[in-house]
Amino acid sequence: MTAPQRPRVPRRALDGVLLLDKPIGLSSNDALIRAKRLYLAKKAGHTGTLDPLATGLLPLCFGEATKFSQDLLEADKTYEATMRLGIRTTTGDAEGEALEIRAVDCDEAAVRAALPRFIGGIVQIPPMYSALKRDGKPLYEYARAGQTVEREGRRVTIHALELIACALPDVTFRVTCSKGTYVRTLAEDIGEALGCGAHLVALRRTGVGALTLEHSITLDALSDATEVERDAWLQPVDALLSTFPQVSLNDDDTRRFLHGQRLKLSSLTIAADALSAARVRVYSAQGRLLGVAKPGDGVLAPERLVVTAES
């Protein structure tokens, strides 16, 4: 006799952003799956991966917010990182095997003197243990097979780099950097500049664009919360767009905008910062987020629209 099938739990149509404090040892995708299951959400996505070794801010997008996740992929990130001087590893972090051990002859003053050399535009060689692809295959697959392939240097920007603590051989620093920056590669390069090598032993992301760890929640806390409490942790979709100038439309222009029509800028009341912006966030007169648009060539052109029951 066939066992009766369990009834499928209905999924919820949720729109919003969850600021998750990802634990160590969990991939970003696994964290997303757990959060999506807790919310019984129909649609969810994350905004860029954190390695299993890393902890900290992982913004998760639900429903209509997934349309804007690319904006956070492009955003600057802030991390607190600890590197251990004197040891280079195969992966550049604590998950790899030791490649070389050298004496640590520098002091805190030398560390402080080295950091400013990495502020600004720098070129990084992507690590072999990364998801970047070569001939359709991730680099880490070559690395696991014992192969090293040539990689082109990539230009990234280090906006800020400051020393937090120095208890040699461990050095903890805070870095704000552009997208595509490998913090473990930065740690390795600082170690080379100090003449002893280094690898990353801890990494915590504290900021993504304008979003910070301050208002985040852990998976354990989410699991213990009621549905009402969990929903209260969801931030509105426009939390992802807080750095974009704002434009408000009257009812007639709102209808046209939601039908994908371009609006003449001369007929709208728009602040100067919005006119010169690459993109703006657009609201109805009632304060409802309609989407994002590009101002230019005399028109406001819809780029991505937010679909709701009111649309």
pLDDT digits (tens, 9 = 90+) for 240-288: 998 899 999 999 999 999 999 999 998 888 888 888 888 999 999 999 9
| Residue from 51, 93, 189, 238 carrying the catalytic annotation | 51
Is residue 132 assigned to a domain? yes
pLDDT at 303 over 70: yes
Is residue 11 assigned to a domain? no
56 and 104 share one domain: no
114 and 189 share one domain: yes
103 and 178 share one domain: yes
**Mean pLDDT estimate for the chain:** 90
* CATH number for the domain harbouring residue 68: 3.30.2350.10
177 and 137 share one domain: yes
Tell me the residue range of the domain where 26 lies.
16-75+211-239
**Ramachandran sector of residue 152 (left: φ over 0; alpha: ψ -120 to 50; beta: rest):** beta
Predicted pLDDT at 129: 66
What number is the average pLDDT over the span 38-58? 91
Select from 190, 221, 239 the last residue of a domain: 239
71 and 81 share one domain: no
Facing residues of 45 across strands? 61
The total domain count for the chain is 3
What pTM was estimated for this model as a whole? 0.88
Please tell me whether the peptide bond between 169 and the residue prior to it is cis, using omega within 30 degrees of 0.
yes
Predicted pLDDT at 246: 92
What number is the average pLDDT over the span 93-99? 91
224 and 199 share one domain: no
Is residue 6 assigned to a domain? no
140 and 162 share one domain: yes
51 and 102 share one domain: no
The answer to whether 51 is a known catalytic residue is yes
* CATH number for the domain harbouring residue 277: 2.30.130.10
83 and 204 share one domain: yes
Which of 41-50, 133-142, 189-198 is predicted least confidently?
A: 133-142
Is residue 310 assigned to a domain? no
Q: Tell me: the pLDDT tens digits for 69-86?
A: 887 888 899 999 999 999
Instruction: Report residue 219: phi and psi, to 5°.
Output: -65, -35
- Residue whose structure tokens are 């050298």: 102
Asked if 209 contacts 71 with a C-beta cutoff of 8 angstroms, the reply is: yes
Which of 130-144, 169-183, 232-246 is predicted least confidently?
A: 130-144
Q: Tell me: the pLDDT tens digits for 7-29?
A: 677 888 899 999 999 999 999 99
Is residue 7 assigned to a domain? no
What is the C-alpha separation between 233 and 91, in angstroms, rounded? 36
Predicted pLDDT at 264: 92
